Structure 1
Amino acid sequence: MYVKRYYSFWMTVRWSKYSLIYGLLYSFIIVVLYELTSIPFSLPWQPISVIGIAVAFFLGFKNNSSYDRTWEARKIWGAIVNDSRTFATGILSLPSSNMPFERKKRIIYRHLAWLLALKHVMRNEKSWEHNLPVHKLNFIPNFIKEYSDGMFAEIEKYLSQEEIASVKELTNIPSQLLKNQSQEIAKLYEQQFITDYKQVRLHELIGKLYTNQGMSERIKNFPFPRQYASTGLWITYIFCALIPFGLLDIFAQSTALHYWLTIPFSAIIIWTFFVVDRIGDYSENPFEGGYNDVPISSIARAVEIDLLEMLEVENVPAPYQTENGFLM
């Protein structure tokens, strides 16, 4: 996630430079052919503008829908933060005279393992994403190690070797860790460490964590419908291909610059529409680790710090710092 007030103009140009370059080259070719052949293949601007309005409406719908996915993802992980703190506080508030502190610590550690495992699952690549593995991101170099080392390098410090071995080959490790947590709560009740009310309340919190995980998986595993994503791209191509033909006669009225104003103005219009399409395209998948995604690594680290400080342990990890204006 980019955290400065604005992207600089040149950062925006670098991010979308190919549409600008191709727009310039395409417009240049059209103008050269128009000049050399003297064939009047210009088009009236009115029908092109109607197509442009339709494209603008469609891109607006696409971008709004993409933004909704990103904002929902942020709300889900905000709920995970709140429920994590509530769950840890609920465990620590159990009477110390009845329940050993080490057992409380083990339960909270298992929760941290669940959180970090879920973070890694959300970073897994999907075929509809941009096929940009996290280790290829060069704007935040210090984040790369946690992903190159893998999930178990992070969660093994919070789980026993027996529990790691029991979940290592399972398909959905976060779900299994929540199941283990639920079973632990049941044991606490059987051993009379907690009351009926506490058992119900803790199970409700685990249910909320399951709900948060499921909503996060829904966004991760179900893509923005490809018919909308694909149609938006193709109609943008069609509209942008027509732009130079519609501007030829407009700028023919200028005897000084003649048709050559068609080139920069066509390129700017083409660039604008493709930038808008690209913004929506890169907002569809808020967990893939891109420039504008939800910073789940930083969110998970913040929760990790909070819970470890509640436990008063030493060597609490430092929060992730912003690098080059980005937070991941």
Structure 2
Amino acid sequence: MYTRRNYGFWMTFNWSKRPFIFGLVYSTAVFALSHYLSNQIHLPWSAVTVIGIAVAFYLGFKNNSAYDRTWEARKIYGAIVNSSRSFAAAVVSFIKGKEDHEVKKELIHRHIAWMTALRHQLRLSKPWEHTDERLRHYVPTICESYNNKLDAELSSYISPTEIAALEGKTNKATQLLKTQSARLQELHDQGYFEHFRHMQFFDLVKDFYDNQGKAERIKNFPFPRQYASTALWITYVFAALVPFGIVDVFMNAAEWVYWVSPIFSALIIWVFFLMEKIGDYSENPFEGTYNDVPITQISRGIEIDIREMIGDDNIPGPIKEENGFLM
């Protein structure tokens, strides 16, 4: 997620410069060929604009749909923030008994382990994601699964026995919630809290399962490829026609204006590809690139809040931005 007021123009251009460069070369070639053939190669600009309007509407639909995925992902993590604080407050208030401080610490740390496993799973690469972009341009260093650091992080929160029990499990986050549920049942049986409060704990664990499932739905089900692909190909078709329409507009202009016109053609091509690219990079809000939901930063914020509730020590600081980006 970008945290500064605006992306700089040159930052935006550097991210999307290839369509402009190729568009400028292609447009110049079309203008030169048309000039060599006495302006016999051109298309009515009105016809090209009709296609452009259709492409713009389609790109708008795609971008709105992609934005909905990103915003839903942010709402899911907002719900995890709220439920996590409620869970920690319940742990602090409900748990009463022998060595209850250690019990509270165990439950809170296991919850942080669940958040850690979940964000690692959400950062795993999918075939439709922009995995090569994670190490390019302005993206900060990302710490999750593809660096194989999950077990090392979990060791700060749960015992080696619990980590070993997760070995070979397909969905470690799910297993951690199962362990948490079983432990809460044990504590209830040992008299740390009564039945009514046990049910409240169960409702909170259910909320965590629900939000995990919602996040996994976005992660594991791509933006439908037929919509994403069509947006790309019709943008290419429109870009291929733009120089021929611009020739129609400027073929009777002064010669210097005529030879400057490929720049206008390249700008139009760049604008449309920029719109397509923005939608493309908003489809997968957990992939670990420029405009993702900052799940690492959100998880760290939750960790700080709930560990402070139990007076824990060695609490880490907030995640800092890198070049204006949070992950």
- Normalising by the smaller structure, the TM-score range is over 0.9
Separation (CA, whole Å) in 2 of partners of 1:138 and 1:313:
38
Q: Which moved more, 1:39-48 or 1:265-274?
A: 39-48
Is contact 2:15-2:137 (8 Å) kept?
no
- Measured on the aligned residues, the alpha-carbon RMSD in Å equals 1.7
Q: CA deviation at 1:298?
A: 0.3
Match of 2:308 in 1: 309
Match of 2:277 in 1: 278
Deviations 1:47-75 (A, max 9, x none): 21111111000000000000000000000
Q: Which amino acid aligns with 1:231?
A: T
Q: CA deviation at 1:97?
A: 3.8
The correspondence of residues 15-54 of structure 1 with structure 2, limited to 5 A, is: 15-38=15-38, 40-54=40-54
Match of 1:184 in 2: 183
Deviations 1:24-46 (A, max 9, x none): 00101111111223361201112
- Name the SS of the counterpart of 1:157 in structure 2: coil
Q: Which amino acid aligns with 2:107?
A: I
Separation (CA, whole Å) in 1 of partners of 2:6 and 2:231:
26
Say yes or no: does 1:10 pair with 2:28.
Answer: no
Q: Which amino acid aligns with 1:241?
A: A
Separation (CA, whole Å) in 1 of partners of 2:184 and 2:82:
20
- Name the SS of the counterpart of 2:131 in structure 1: coil
Say yes or no: does 1:62 pair with 2:62.
Answer: yes
- Name the SS of the counterpart of 2:132 in structure 1: coil
Unaligned runs of 5+ in 1: none
Structure-2 change in CA distance of 1:110 and 1:138 (3 Å)? farther
- Name the SS of the counterpart of 2:155 in structure 1: helix
Separation (CA, whole Å) in 1 of partners of 2:270 and 2:232:
13
The correspondence of residues 107-256 of structure 1 with structure 2, limited to 5 A, is: 107-132=107-132, 134=134, 136-137=135-136, 139=138, 141=140, 143-144=142-143, 148-256=147-255
Q: How many residues are aligned here? A: 327
TM-score, structure 2 length as denominator? 0.96
Match of 1:77 in 2: 77
TM-score, structure 1 length as denominator? 0.95
% of aligned pairs identical?
51
Separation (CA, whole Å) in 1 of partners of 2:165 and 2:297:
28
Q: Which amino acid aligns with 1:52?
A: G
Structure-2 change in CA distance of 1:170 and 1:144 (3 Å)? closer
Is contact 1:42-1:249 (8 Å) kept?
yes
Separation (CA, whole Å) in 2 of partners of 1:139 and 1:34:
40
Structure-2 change in CA distance of 1:155 and 1:130 (3 Å)? same
Q: Which amino acid aligns with 1:237?
A: Y
Q: CA deviation at 1:315?
A: 1.5
Deviations 1:196-215 (A, max 9, x none): 11111100000000000000
Match of 1:100 in 2: 100
Q: Which moved more, 1:180-189 or 1:196-205?
A: 180-189
Structure 1 runs of 4+ off > 3 angstroms? 95-99, 137-147
- Name the SS of the counterpart of 2:42 in structure 1: coil
Deviations 1:275-312 (A, max 9, x none): 00000000000001111110001001111111221121
Is contact 1:125-1:133 (8 Å) kept?
no
Q: Which amino acid aligns with 1:293?
A: D
